[in-house]
Amino acid sequence: MKTVTVNDKIQSGYTYTRVVPAGRHFDINFTPHFSPKEMLHLGVFEGKYLNDCTNEFPKDWYVEAQLSEVANVECNFFRVKSRQPLSVWRQKGWIYGPDPRGWFQWYCRYYLGRRIAGLDEKQIRRWKGFKRHAGQIKANCMPGDISCRPRQRQGLLQWSHDPFI
């Protein structure tokens, strides 16, 4: 077990404990397609995510990450804007518990071994619900045509679902 204290631009003084080994012991209903490191490497959130969290997360996550000081769609794998500002997430009530940056921050902490009963189940339900976008791609795109519906594909990537269907 390891205790982590968070001090970044959005959250200060938050402490949590990693109770299981990183990348292990996921809920049986949660089977993400990518690790956070792989997502950052492929290009998510316009390169403007976790940039100030380098002390909380493994340094190797950032080695080949597509990052930018300002939001830049060229950092996204599909080169399209596919996110709402954090202010919209707050307005809509999509920010839960101790993760002020939203789902991906929860996933990073979960991946590294933090577990919070109730919150984990809620976020896993949200992750499962996002998979509906894969059905829309399958129904409207030719297999292998990753240029079809790039915003939905970018969204799938940002929720750790397979966008290359």
- Burial tier of 25 (Cβ tally within 10 Å: 0-12, 13-18, 19+): exposed
- Decide if 128 is inside a domain: yes
Contact by Cβ (8 Å): 101, 10? yes
- Decide if 164 is inside a domain: no
Please give the model's pTM, rounded to 2 decimal places: 0.94
Question: What integer pLDDT is reported at residue 92 of this predicted model?
Answer: 85
Contact by Cβ (8 Å): 146, 153? yes
Question: What integer pLDDT is reported at residue 50 of this predicted model?
Answer: 82
- Decide if 158 is inside a domain: no
Question: What integer pLDDT is reported at residue 19 of this predicted model?
Answer: 98
Q: Which domain holds residue 14?
A: 2-153
- Decide if 160 is inside a domain: no
Which is nearest to 160 in space by CA: 17, 23, 6, 2? 23
- Decide if 159 is inside a domain: no
Question: What integer pLDDT is reported at residue 104 of this predicted model?
Answer: 94
**Below-70 pLDDT ranges, the chain:** none
Quote the number of domains for the chain: 1
- Decide if 162 is inside a domain: no
- Decide if 163 is inside a domain: no
Question: What integer pLDDT is reported at residue 63 of this predicted model?
Answer: 92
- Decide if 165 is inside a domain: no
Question: What integer pLDDT is reported at residue 140 of this predicted model?
Answer: 96
Question: What integer pLDDT is reported at residue 14 of this predicted model?
Answer: 96
Contact by Cβ (8 Å): 65, 49? no
E strand map for 1-146: 2-7, 12-18
Question: What integer pLDDT is reported at residue 53 of this predicted model?
Answer: 86
Question: What integer pLDDT is reported at residue 160 of this predicted model?
Answer: 98
